[in-house]
Amino acid sequence: MPLIVKEQGGLGHKACISGQGDMPFKALLTHLICLGDDEPQVTAYGLEEEVDYYAPAFRFEDEDDNPWIPYRQMSETPLPENHLLDARLRKEKEDAINQINHVRNVLQQIKQEANHLLNH
């Protein structure tokens, strides 16, 4: 989940551990779950934890609502030096497991709120 970084009239982002960013994850997930009239429109949700990934701004305050966004090189998370690689890989596994637990907790909250609304 991203931390929003203000820069040069735009908003970049730096990915952080799920649950710590600026994105309203619970609200977004609730809206995704509720899409569809007779059947769910969203039947699966992919997870990707990208801690320390950085992407510079590509939308700016002085643009209209639907600007042309030119091609740019992809942003990358730099690999650590070789002697730090094993620790980084362990941390990535821990981050992924923490993300799964965070999403499960959020889904449980959504479920409890839905049950409360349906039963009261």
Q: What is the mean pLDDT of residues 14-32?
A: 90
Q: What is the pLDDT of residue 87?
A: 95
| pLDDT-derived band at 1, boundaries 50, 70, 90 | low
Place of tokens 């499960």: 104
* Rounded Cα distance, 96 and 88, in Å: 12
Q: What is the pLDDT of residue 45?
A: 87
pTM comes to 0.79
Beta bridge partners, 15, equal: 2
